[in-house]
Copies of this chain bind each other. A is one copy, B any other.
């Protein structure tokens, strides 16, 4: 804001400017596989990659829910992070069994543990469908515009995958609506757990070391994709290479970065900082307090919340890091200046008409967004507070109403092409902790009352004369939805069955869904619709001015990042590029959270102190890249990405090559732990040979 009155300080102007107006800096970018800048990569890193190299990396990379992975044998063996598969470990634990703490190693195929709901996908093809999506929205405004484009999207997906069993089709909106591409994946629906080390070997260093380096977590896991009950045949896997990494060597990361906001305008980023991140920081700290309290009530509670608490803490640190990046003095000022310059340039190039200003238009959207944000958060997007039961109830109620309409007139998540997956998520058996469900519902109800006020009509409809705690307890006590048969009856019974249901959760959703749908409509008409429209205008102008020297914001889909193994400098202190097993023993003081895991400790003599434990790299990554392979120039896998440093949390908004670092555990450490600590010699052989029994 200060830029208007006063000159930017040196520090501010030295910051990376908005990508809105700048081509990518060296080693910057999460590139799509169809637009990776090969010439530039070869030039900057002094390597010699070609299209065949790119294709091999793509075919050896895997997209799993919220994370990334790599295929490492011809028998469907997938490497990812332990933190990406914790819920699978938890789902497979018998009552009283603490599988997560002990770790898992399947000694034979039949011991591999099925992960409920887990899929794995390999990207086969990308096709441009921008024209068709644009045509669908032509001449429409607000909610109608959003609905028409969403309908076109689902139609394209349905057509493309119609006759392809085992595949999935997804229309991806790139450049905030500037480009639409159809992604076609091979999909594996049966994914099983092969190996995770002990939990403490993964989370060593706990909260203080999270998003820091040096870092000593063996955050690794192996899964296996199955087809027709047998390990999948995956000849296009990557090569395992447990050699010692070299500081300064060029490396590549293939994965699915989840979401960035680099193409958002300054006005949108201010809203994100003040009306999304700060409330999120408050909400997460509140939820964490409740979860910690719950976890301390019993050993069983501690077991069921271990992964949840760690997840919340991870999100807290991420939200704080993102907030700090947006609050850095001068950061947004520099962006705003870049936007002003870009506007001039784009108008001069005829890419933005003189009477149009998408930056100003997007600023205008912010007031509406702020005015609607509390209701949208608590009645719609955060509704249920994380309760799975509530999610089921809402889906049953909404699907029943939506299925009465033609597919392309429904809320998009209930279109015909999406129903099979929805049905599976609703009807698959799943064990839930009733107490944890109560906690989530109580959290949601009390925060809704706190934020919207006890006298808000929608809150009165939610709570009636009840307290949040009493209502949540009653809903969980009396609902029938724990039982898959009850859910199936409502799913198959449709609208009539739902309306006649005496289930209190179904009744709560029925009584309050109008409030939620109403704010959703207002949001689409006043916030997301206009934001998409002006975002598209800006995206087109960016293409006109900058060509494809810019990469799209992350969208949870396959991308390539290039960089090097390299440390950085922080407050005058040099942080190394690599740390070893010897460094680990120095840090393991035994005081929480610096206790070496028990089996790791026992195996101390069998671990070579000079083994490289973890490396820091210059890769441009964000959350979603977890589990990505760290790939050498020859295409082999020399490490496994599992974290970034604190500055890299600002990666949501910019890339700063001087200080942003990704953190990976070396392939040699993963193998050393597997063989010397956890007895996984057979699995290590499969990795080394690339061959597994099918």
A residues neighboring B (CB under 8 Å): 1-7, 9, 11, 205, 207-209, 212, 214, 266-267, 270, 273-275, 277-278, 281-282, 285-286, 288-290, 292-293, 296, 316, 320, 323, 326-330, 332-333, 336, 339-340, 343, 357, 359-360, 363-364, 366-367, 370, 449-450, 453-455, 465-467, 469-470, 573, 589, 591-594
- A207–B447 Cα distance when bound, in Å, is 10
Chain B CB within 10 Å, residue with most, of A329, A336, A469, A593? A329
- A591–B460 Cα distance when bound, in Å, is 13
How far in angstroms is the closest Cβ of chain B from A571? 8
Which chain B positions have C-beta within 8 A of A323?
Answer: 274, 278
Give 19 pairs: A residue, B residue, CB < 8 Å, sorted on A. A1-B1, A1-B332, A1-B333, A2-B363, A4-B4, A7-B360, A9-B364, A11-B367, A212-B453, A273-B274, A274-B326, A278-B278, A281-B282, A286-B289, A289-B289, A289-B292, A329-B370, A465-B591, A467-B594
Is A367 within 8 A of B9, CB to CB? yes
Identify A367's interface contact among B274, B316, B329, CB under 8 A. B329
Identify A5's interface contact among B214, B316, B336, B455, CB under 8 A. B336
Instruction: Knowing A275-B327, A282-B282, A366-B329 are in contact, say whether A208-B449 is a contact too (CB < 8 A).
Output: yes
- A224–B327 Cα distance when bound, in Å, is 48
Instruction: Knowing A289-B292, A360-B5 are in contact, say whether A367-B282 is a contact too (CB < 8 A).
Output: no
Instruction: Knowing A2-B363, A267-B2, A282-B285 are in contact, say whether A470-B208 is a contact too (CB < 8 A).
Output: no
Identify A454's interface contact among B9, B212, B288, CB under 8 A. B212
Instruction: Knowing A11-B367, A281-B282, A589-B465 are in contact, say whether A5-B359 is a contact too (CB < 8 A).
Output: yes
Is A289 within 8 A of B282, CB to CB? no
Instruction: Report the nearest B residue to A284, measured CB to CB.
Output: B285
Copies of this protein in the assembly total 2
Identify A466's interface contact among B208, B209, B364, B591, CB under 8 A. B591
Is B467 within 8 A of A592, CB to CB? yes
Which chain B positions have C-beta within 8 A of A366?
Answer: 329
Is A285 within 8 A of B289, CB to CB? yes
How far in angstroms is the closest Cβ of chain B from A570? 9
- A466–B589 Cα distance when bound, in Å, is 8
How far in angstroms is the closest Cβ of chain B from A154? 34
- A455–B209 Cα distance when bound, in Å, is 9
Identify A289's interface contact among B270, B293, B330, B450, CB under 8 A. B293
Among all A-B residue pairs, the 6 with the closest Cβ atoms: A289-B289, A285-B285, A1-B1, A4-B4, A274-B327, A467-B591
Instruction: Knowing A320-B282, A327-B275, A465-B591 are in contact, say whether A339-B293 is a contact too (CB < 8 A).
Output: no
Instruction: Knowing A273-B274, A282-B285 are in contact, say whether A328-B292 is a contact too (CB < 8 A).
Output: no
Is B212 within 8 A of A270, CB to CB? no
Instruction: Report the nearest B residue to A317, measured CB to CB.
Output: B450
How far in angstroms is the closest Cβ of chain B from A323? 6
Is B367 within 8 A of A330, CB to CB? yes
How far in angstroms is the closest Cβ of chain B from A547? 25
Beyond the given A1-B336, A2-B363, A288-B289, please list 18 additional residue pairs across the A-B interface where CB-CB is below 8 A.
Answer: A1-B1, A1-B266, A1-B333, A2-B267, A5-B336, A5-B339, A5-B340, A6-B359, A7-B360, A282-B320, A286-B289, A289-B292, A293-B296, A328-B370, A329-B370, A465-B589, A466-B591, A467-B594
Instruction: Report the nearest B residue to A592, measured CB to CB.
Output: B467
Is B467 within 8 A of A6, CB to CB? no
Which chain B positions have C-beta within 8 A of A339?
Answer: 5
Which chain B positions have C-beta within 8 A of A212?
Answer: 453-455
Identify A470's interface contact among B209, B363, B591, CB under 8 A. B591
Instruction: Report the nearest B residue to A374, measured CB to CB.
Output: B324
Is A454 within 8 A of B209, CB to CB? yes
How far in angstroms is the closest Cβ of chain B from A614? 15
Chain B CB within 10 Å, residue with most, of A1, A281, A292, A469? A1
Which chain B positions have C-beta within 8 A of A316?
Answer: 282
Identify A285's interface contact among B286, B370, B467, B470, CB under 8 A. B286
- A278–B281 Cα distance when bound, in Å, is 8
How far in angstroms is the closest Cβ of chain B from A650? 13
Which chain B positions have C-beta within 8 A of A277?
Answer: 278
- A288–B286 Cα distance when bound, in Å, is 8
- A413–B506 Cα distance when bound, in Å, is 62
Which chain B positions have C-beta within 8 A of A281?
Answer: 278, 281-282, 285
- A449–B454 Cα distance when bound, in Å, is 38
- A288–B283 Cα distance when bound, in Å, is 12
How far in angstroms is the closest Cβ of chain B from A312? 11
- A340–B2 Cα distance when bound, in Å, is 11
Instruction: Knowing A273-B274, A592-B469 are in contact, say whether A336-B4 is a contact too (CB < 8 A).
Output: yes
Which chain B positions have C-beta within 8 A of A327?
Answer: 274-275, 278, 370
